[in-house]
Amino acid sequence: MGNKIKNVVINTLYKGWATLNEVSFSYKMKNESWVNQKRESYDRGDGATVLLYNKVKKTVILTKQFRVSTFLNGNDSGFVLETCAGMLDNDQPEACIIREIEEETGYRVNSVTKLFKAYSSPGALTEILHYFITEYSEDMKVNEGGGLDSEHEDIEVLEMPFEFAVNMITTGEIKDIKTICLLQYAQINKIFNNS
């Protein structure tokens, strides 16, 4: 297929918690002609997410927190039900998500199972999200979770039946794509039926 992109120029428009870049480049079309294009790309780093599940109780742990971007786009409360997640912050994905599990949910796990990694919204974000699952049990609970005060996190921890959580996709109560992916992975792979 050959090289379809050249003359890449990156201009930083804003640098704060994340970086907004304007990217200019030449792109080779199917008819072999070159066109100049310009796109904006938002770089906030890569992240990790995990579905915590309990086979005995047939439950999962989800979190609920305020997400301003959803508030700006049709979510009147701004609160979102989602799987535990966090930014890598220069950690390996496994180390990141084990840390986030304890900070957000209060459960201390020793290991997680990597499923896959995927771009979150490739039209605008550079982010790759690493997806995990792990089992939890009551004896792993070491604190109440809720996030870090230093990061102004205010996270509600919710334990619910797996089937109830899956149904919340259909009812529209769960609209977060990473959460939908992990719940459907669990459903397709029948993780509650496997011993």
Can you give the residue ranges of every domain in the chain?
5-43, 47-188
pLDDT given at position 1: 43
Cα–Cα distance between 185 and 132 in angstroms, integer?
A: 10
pLDDT given at position 2: 60
Cα–Cα distance between 130 and 124 in angstroms, integer?
A: 18
Could you report the per-residue pLDDT of 29-66, keeping only the tens digit for each? Answer: 999 999 999 999 999 999 999 999 999 999 999 999 99
47-188 folds as Nucleoside Triphosphate Pyrophosphohydrolase (3.90.79)
Using DSSP bridges, classify how beta strands 156-161 and 84-87 pair: parallel, antiparallel or unpaired.
unpaired
Cα–Cα distance between 25 and 9 in angstroms, integer?
A: 6
pLDDT given at position 164: 97
Q: Mean pLDDT throughout 75-85?
A: 95
Single pTM value for the model: 0.92
Q: Mean pLDDT throughout 152-170?
A: 94
Q: Mean pLDDT throughout 177-185?
A: 98
Q: Mean pLDDT throughout 70-93?
A: 95
